[in-house]
Structure formats: C-alpha cells, structure tokens
C-alpha cells in the first residue's frame, strides 16, 4: 500500500502479522500512485486474454507442459510490482526495497473522432488493463501489455513494452469495409466507423447530433471547456455537462489551435444557437404582450439565449395566465388587472364595473 500523507510504501504480511516500511519519497518526487499490483478498470468491458506458446515437453509429461510466458502474474515470485501513476505512467516497484526501479510504460491513448492527446490519465479512459509478462523458467519480468478503451467507448488501443519500458508496438481497433462490386477493401479506425460505417451509423449519428443541439448552448460551451475534467465513466451518466458530445470531443482536439478549435465548436452547435435566438425572440414578443416589466423581459430573453429550449418551456409554464382585453386607446391587447395599459400607458375607466351605492333587499 501507499500512504499519500507519509509519501512512502508499506508491505503488509498478514500471515506473519508484520508491516515493512519503505523509504520516504523525496520532496521533489512527482509520483502520485493510484493503483499497485493488478492494474485494471472496468474489467466487465475490457479483459485481456492471450494464449502464449508452450514449452516443449516429453510425451509422458505432456499434460504438465507450461506456457513460455506466464499468463497469471504470480506476485509472490516476482521481484517487481507495477504501480500506476495519476498521470498514466506505469512504474516498477521493487518488492524488497519498496523503491521505484524504473519505468515500465504508460497507458496507451485511444484515438477519437477528432485527433486527441497523445498521453492520457486513468480518469480519461472508460476501461484499461495491464498484463505483465514473465518467463516461466526464471520468473523474470520481461515487459507488459497495456490496453485501454477511449472515453466514448468507440475504440480500444493496445501497446506492448519491453522490460526497460520502451514501446515495442502499439495499435488500435479497426473496421474493415468491403465493397463487393469494386472489390475495394478499406480499413478505418473504429472510432470513425461507429459514427459513419457500421449499419445504421449515419442515422444514429444524425439523431445524436440533433438531440445534442437541443441542449442549452451555455452548457454545450461548458462541455467544450471542461471536457477533460470529468471521469470517463461519469460522463456517460451526465445530464447537464456532456463530456462525450461532439463539441466536447472537438474540445479535446489537438490538431487545431485554440481559435480554430473554438470556431469549429461554435459551428457544431450553430443550430442550437439559432434555435435559442428564435425562441428568445418569441419570448420577448410574448412578454411584451402579457405586460411583463422591462427587467423581467430582459431576464427571460437572456435566459432563453443561454439555456435554449429548457428556458422557453419554463417561461411558457410560468408566464401570467390572464385573459387580455382590447385597449380603447391604442387598440392593442392589455391586461385588465392593471390601472394603466402596459402598451400605451393610458388609464382604463370602466364605470360599469363600479358597484352601485344602493341595492334591492327583500
């Protein structure tokens, strides 16, 4: 275990009831461990399985043949443990000295619909798993596999590292599109195939885009600015800020500068902005008719521009429910509960509504 306040590792032996304290990390040490040993997240979505080649064995001992590489990491046999850092880096921890023994690699960054950052943190991934490798003959650490699933859940990346933490090879999931007439075989990343190539993908993508443009524009802009500040799993349960929306994915785009990326984000939610302006215009006209004050009208107009359809529905449900009458002075509809017409300001004299000073009794 690792104590964040004491900045040191502890090894606990429950059988012998003994605790071993490791050396304190230096003040300038930037390590922030979050997982030790078995490194995984979302195991129900990602499960690494690999069948390695087996050692040659005699016919008599064929039933007991062993794989060249251990598939299960036996912690009691290994010299090192894997430690996942908050930054996504993976280090080796010496079991005996409880000190770092070098880098083992890092979590691979899956691609997205738009080019995303090269290095990711654990909170940026929907799932990940790391499988260390060791030779069965000497049980020595030989490297590791590291796999991760993108925040949107549309692509998985796999990377292989050697015992020194150097990347050997990395790749990501792809989709194969075959056109039978032209016999053309096209391979596209699964992050794009999910939205355009698989059956019904274009229809679902258009529906997703239209639904996102019913979201309040102000919250869409917050999603753009805060796309990376939310844990990946929490983004799929969000109601107000949508880290997995198209504009949020554009906010994580690293291929454009800040100005180009912002203008592209505004273009993505352009239908939402136009809808909010039209709804705000309708709210302003109706607020004038029902006699709301100037401050109240401005409040509802600005609120509708910012929150769109939600603010418009709220206004329609909360506006004054009064039957309007025609003003004798300006001819426009006015509220009968006001002494003066809220359209032209003229007084309203209704002598027939004045109660008489006499009455008939039995």
Tens-place pLDDT, residues 46-95:
888 777 777 665 555 555 566 666 655 555 567 788 999 999 999 999 88
Per-residue model confidence (pLDDT) at position 22: 87
Q: How is residue 352 annotated by DSSP?
A: G
Number of domains in the chain: 2
**69 falls within a domain:** yes
Q: Which DSSP symbol is given to 320?
A: -
From 177, 210, 227, the end of a domain falls on 177
Query: Do 172 and 211 fall within a single domain?
Result: no
Structural domain contains residue 242:
yes
Q: What's the pLDDT tens digit per position in 188-213?
A: 788 888 888 888 888 999 999 999 99
Are 141 and 217 part of one and the same domain? Answer: no
Q: What pLDDT shows up at residue 1? A: 86
With respect to residue 261, please indicate whether it lies within any of the assigned structural domains.
yes
Co-location of 228 and 104 in the same domain? no
Residues 171 and 111 placed together within one structural domain of the fold: yes
Q: What pLDDT shows up at residue 184? A: 57
Which single residue is written with the structure tokens 């709220």?
314
- The predicted pLDDT at position 233 comes to 87
pLDDT at 345: 61
The answer to whether residue 238 is domain-embedded is yes
pLDDT (0 to 100) of residue 236: 86
Asked if residue 330 belongs to a domain, the reply is no
pLDDT at 294: 81
In a domain, 276, yes or no: no
Sign of the dihedral defined by the CA atoms of residues 349, 351, 353, 358, in that order: positive
Give yes or no: residues 116 and 28 share one domain: yes
Domain that holds residue 39: 2-177
Residues 169 and 208 in one domain: no
Does 231 lie in the same domain as 134? no
Domain assignment present for residue 329? The answer is no
The answer on 168 and 204 residing in a single domain is no
Instruction: For the chain, list the strands marked E by DSSP.
Output: 2-3, 8-13, 18-21, 33-36, 40-41, 80-85, 89-94, 100-106, 127-134, 141-149, 156-162, 167-172, 174-179, 184-189, 325-326, 333-334
Residue 313 lies in a domain: no
Which stretches of the chain drop beneath a pLDDT of 70?
Answer: 55-77, 176-186, 322-326, 328, 331, 333-339, 341-343, 345-362
Task: Say whether both 152 and 8 belong to one domain.
Answer: yes
Helix (H, G, I), strand (E, B) or coil at 278: helix
Beta bridge partners of 170: 159
Are residues 160 and 29 part of one domain?
Answer: yes
Pairing of strands 156-162, 141-149: antiparallel
Do 147 and 115 lie in one domain? The reply is: yes
Asked if 178 contacts 187 with a C-beta cutoff of 8 angstroms, the reply is no
Residues 207 and 162 in one domain: no
């Amino acid at each position: 275990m690792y104590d964040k306040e004491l900045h040191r590792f502890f090894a606990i032996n429950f059988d012998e009831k003994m605790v071993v304290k490791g050396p304190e990390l230096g003040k300038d040490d930037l390590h922030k461990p979050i997982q030790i040993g078995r490194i995984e997240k979302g195991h129900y979505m990602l499960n690494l399985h690999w069948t390695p080649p087996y050692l040659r064995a005699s016919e008599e001992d064929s039933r007991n043949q062993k794989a060249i590489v251990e598939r299960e990491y036996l912690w009691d046999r290994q010299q090192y443990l894997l430690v996942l850092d908050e930054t996504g880096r993976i280090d080796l921890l010496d079991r005996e000295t409880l000190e770092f023994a070098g880098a083992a690699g890092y979590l691979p960054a899956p691609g997205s619909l738009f080019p995303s950052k090269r290095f990711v943190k654990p909170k940026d991934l929907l799932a990940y798993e790391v499988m260390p490798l060791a030779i069965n003959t000497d049980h020595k650490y030989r490297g590791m596999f590291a796999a991760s699933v993108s925040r949107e859940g549309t692509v998985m990346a796999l990377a292989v590292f050697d015992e020194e933490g150097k990347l050997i090879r990395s790749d990501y999931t792809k989709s194969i599109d075959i056109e039978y007439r032209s016999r053309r075989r096209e391979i596209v990343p699964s992050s794009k195939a999910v939205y355009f190539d698989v059956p019904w993908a274009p229809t679902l993508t258009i529906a997703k885009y239209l639904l996102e443009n019913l979201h309040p524009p102000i919250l869409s802009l917050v999603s753009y600015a805060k796309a990376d500040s939310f844990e990946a799993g929490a983004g799929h349960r969000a109601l107000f800020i949508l880290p997995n929306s198209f504009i949020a994915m554009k906010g994580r785009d690293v291929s454009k500068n800040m100005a180009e990326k912002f203008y592209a984000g505004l273009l993505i939610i352009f239908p939402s902005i136009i809808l909010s302006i039209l709804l705000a215009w309708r709210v302003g006209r109706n607020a004038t008719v029902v006699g709301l004050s100037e401050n109240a009208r401005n409040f509802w107009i600005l609120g509708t521009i910012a929150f769109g359809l939600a603010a418009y529905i709220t206004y329609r449900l909360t506006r004054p429910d009064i039957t309007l009458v025609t003003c004798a002075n300006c001819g426009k509809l006015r509220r009968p509960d006001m002494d003066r017409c809220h359209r032209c300001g003229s007084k309203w004299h209704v002598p027939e509504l004045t109660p008489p000073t006499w009455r008939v009794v039995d």
